[in-house]
Amino acid sequence: MIAVLICVLISLSVADKLDDLYPELEQSRTIYVVENGPQLSVVAEQSKVVSRRGGNATLPCKIQRDQSLAPNRKMRIKWTKLTSDYLKEVDVFVAMDHHKRSYGSFHGRVHLQGFSPMDASLVITEITLEDYGRYKCEVIDGLEDGTVVVSLDLEGVIFPYFPRLGRYNLNFYDAERACRDQDAIVASFDQLYDAWRGGMDWCNAGWLSDGSVQYPITTPREPCGGKNTVPGIRNYGLRDKDKNHYDVFCFTSHYKGRFYYLIQPSKLTYDEAVKACQKDGAQIAKVGQMYAAWKLLGFDRCDAGWLADGSVRYPISNPRRRCSPTEAAVRFSGFPDKKHKLYGVYCFKGHD
């Protein structure tokens, strides 16, 4: 670094003398600074890792360090999770020498893989829906530092949702609660985009995790942005999270448990359905659990049944006459009167 400063000072001195000798020259100068490249860098073998809820994942992060550097026991490794709007970072794990610490919901579930001193890869166990997202690995070694970002993706299914109140009744925070209540999280744009590429077509705008409101269209038509428009994700942009009200796109993944249709001698009111599942050692199933069973396990049942939110739905994986003849889908029969309408019931029995 001292050699670089000397070069700069000499260049400035020579330039000043030229100004005195040739005052008519245009007043511009170029200073060339030559120094060694970074002596530490951080790389990831892959930019995306795919796992599932309840599974484990290793986020790669390898340290490449100049061998001329003296060993440093105080080299610091820090993992953070980037929020969906990139406005802040959430601490996940920090390690320096023998001192290690995990934070928040990651406590006890994360550790360094540590195959070698240059391996800063992070192992996440018992993955939750909230673990989905982008993570930053940062290594600080004295004056040298390096970072790399790795995405954790989850196998799962995205679904549009609105409550009994009807369409366009959720502000952003209501939308977050609505998805959680249905064993899901608010979906990201990437998840919605993947669903659209897979054929998802939905003409009602919904919140996404970054605070934007969008909806996927594969078949352009007049009420959905216009018949002469191209297929794509229609984007309302970032909206006021408190004041604006829309539906929501939720995302869920694999579960630990059993989703099933409870065979009963007769149809049930909503309250009877709840009690029937409890009597069977289970709980009335949630919308997200039905979507996960349908999409990830191929669950197929042509019987409309109550779910926890008071809606009535049924999952069809094999389209047939009188059972979603045109497409595989979770069919929605609305929010019937809980006291007087009679249906079957879907239950969920969780296990560790």
- Please check whether residues 264 and 334 belong to one and the same domain: yes
Q: What CATH number corresponds to the domain at position 215?
A: 3.10.100.10
pLDDT of residue 35: 45
Local confidence pLDDT in tens for the 352 residues of the chain: 334 333 433 344 434 443 454 444 444 444 444 345 567 899 999 999 999 999 999 999 999 987 766 667 788 999 999 988 777 899 999 999 889 999 999 999 999 998 888 999 999 999 999 999 999 999 998 888 899 999 999 999 999 999 999 999 999 999 999 999 999 999 999 999 999 999 999 999 999 999 999 999 999 998 888 888 999 999 999 999 999 999 999 999 999 999 999 999 999 999 999 999 999 999 999 999 999 999 999 999 999 999 999 999 999 999 999 899 999 999 999 999 999 999 999 999 998 6
- Please check whether residues 91 and 181 belong to one and the same domain: no
Q: Are 78 and 93 within 8 A, CB to CB?
A: yes
How many domains, in total, are found in the chain? 3
The answer to whether position 18 is within a domain reads no
In 10 A of CB 197, how many CB atoms?
Answer: 10
The answer to whether position 16 is within a domain reads no
Last residue of a domain, one of 218, 252, 286: 252
Domain region containing 80:
40-154
pLDDT of residue 21: 46
- Please check whether residues 223 and 287 belong to one and the same domain: no
Helix (H, G, I), strand (E, B) or coil at 131: helix
Euclidean distance between CA atoms 66 and 69, whole angstroms: 6
- Please check whether residues 294 and 334 belong to one and the same domain: yes
- Please check whether residues 87 and 106 belong to one and the same domain: yes
The answer to whether position 318 is within a domain reads yes
The answer to whether position 12 is within a domain reads no
Euclidean distance between CA atoms 6 and 194, whole angstroms: 55
Tokens (6 digits) for 347: 């239950």
The answer to whether position 17 is within a domain reads no
- Please check whether residues 57 and 113 belong to one and the same domain: yes
Q: What CATH number corresponds to the domain at position 45?
A: 2.60.40.10
- Please check whether residues 227 and 242 belong to one and the same domain: yes
Last residue of a domain, one of 123, 154, 185: 154
**Residue 71 DSSP one-character state:** P
In the sheet where 76-82 sits, what is the strand order? 48-51, 144-154, 133-141, 76-82, 89-96, 99-102
- Please check whether residues 232 and 186 belong to one and the same domain: yes
How many helices (H) and strands (E) would you count in the chain?
5, 23
Euclidean distance between CA atoms 69 and 146, whole angstroms: 15
The answer to whether position 178 is within a domain reads yes
- Please check whether residues 53 and 128 belong to one and the same domain: yes
Name the pTM for this structure: 0.85
Last residue of a domain, one of 154, 188, 205: 154
The answer to whether position 65 is within a domain reads yes
- Please check whether residues 146 and 203 belong to one and the same domain: no
- Tens of pLDDT, residue by residue over 337-346, are 999 999 999 9
The answer to whether position 336 is within a domain reads yes
- Please check whether residues 45 and 150 belong to one and the same domain: yes
Tokens (6 digits) for 207: 């919140």
- Please check whether residues 222 and 300 belong to one and the same domain: no
